[in-house]
Amino acid sequence: MFATSSNDHFLSLPWLQRKKSQWSLRSFTKTRQGSISTTSVISANSCMAESIITIPEPPSYEDPSHPWVFVFPTSVANRTILPREEEGHEMLPGYSCDINKLNFIHIKCEFSQPGIRSRDRSWRDLYVQVYGTQLLAYHRHPLKKPNREPIWVYSMQGAEVTIPTDYNKYRYVARLRINHGPQFLFSTQTEQERNDWIRAIESSIHVSSDLDSRTMPQFVTLASRRRRRRPRTTEYQETLV
């Protein structure tokens, strides 16, 4: 008997021999790249085919075959519409402005523009009027001469009225800031008169803004004065003791 090694013994048996595989990493990579490129080409062609497809336009409403078409009867289509007898002769209601306050007051211009001090900051006596959404000033009474031109006119839109706490020269003073305009101080004789002016100015500011952007009015609340209590008499104090 011939002495053979164990390896030669296994190789001599055909069913125990390892079959040569044709698989390799390089061939798998090439196959995968080819499939990806083929898929991308197919998807691009399908997208181009979809873009070429045209959608037909919807039918016109004037088309008689349209299901929603409506044709007016001839009697209605040929009818002539005549104006009413009162057309163009209506009586419009009279206009009345609820915000109208005019008085001869002491006024001073602090700033001509925001941040710019006025050159003339002296006090002046003018006829000041709050009418609707405007603030007007006159040298003379405007009602004595209807066509009298005002010295200046300012819109009350965006204005602000406050009571200054940093001014002590006069007792009853209010401060008015015009939006993108001057700033005024006006003085009155009594506290009630000052409060009336503040209410009129606040009402004018409120109605001057647009309805869509209008906010709740912020009226100036004034603290009422407390009465001074009289000191107790000695007799009353003795009874308490």
Cα angle 52-58-59, degrees, rounded to a multiple of 5:
135
Cα distances from 17 to residues 14, 20, 228, in angstroms, run 5, 9, 123
- In the chain, domain spans: 100-208
Q: Where does the pLDDT of residue 93 fall: very low under 50, low under 70, confident under 90, or very high at 90 and above?
A: confident
Please give the average per-residue pLDDT across 213-219, as a whole number.
Answer: 66
| Architecture of domain 100-208 in this structure | Roll (2.30)
What is the share, in percent, of the chain residues with pLDDT greater than 90? Answer: 35
Q: Which residues pair with 136 in a beta bridge?
A: 129, 153
Please give the average per-residue pLDDT across 189-198, as a whole number.
Answer: 93
pLDDT at position 147 = 80
- 176: closest CA among 190, 162, 189, 187? 162
Terminal-to-terminal C-alpha distance of the chain:
147
Residue 219: both structure tokens together: 């009226």
SS3 (DSSP) at 151: coil
Looking at residue 225, the DSSP 8-state letter turns out to be: P
Cβ-based neighbours of 97, under 8 Å, separated by 6 or more: 131, 132
Give the torsion sign (CA, 125, 126, 128, 134): negative
Does the pTM surpass 0.75? The reply is no
Cβ-based neighbours of 99, under 8 Å, separated by 6 or more: 130, 131, 132, 133, 200, 203, 204, 207
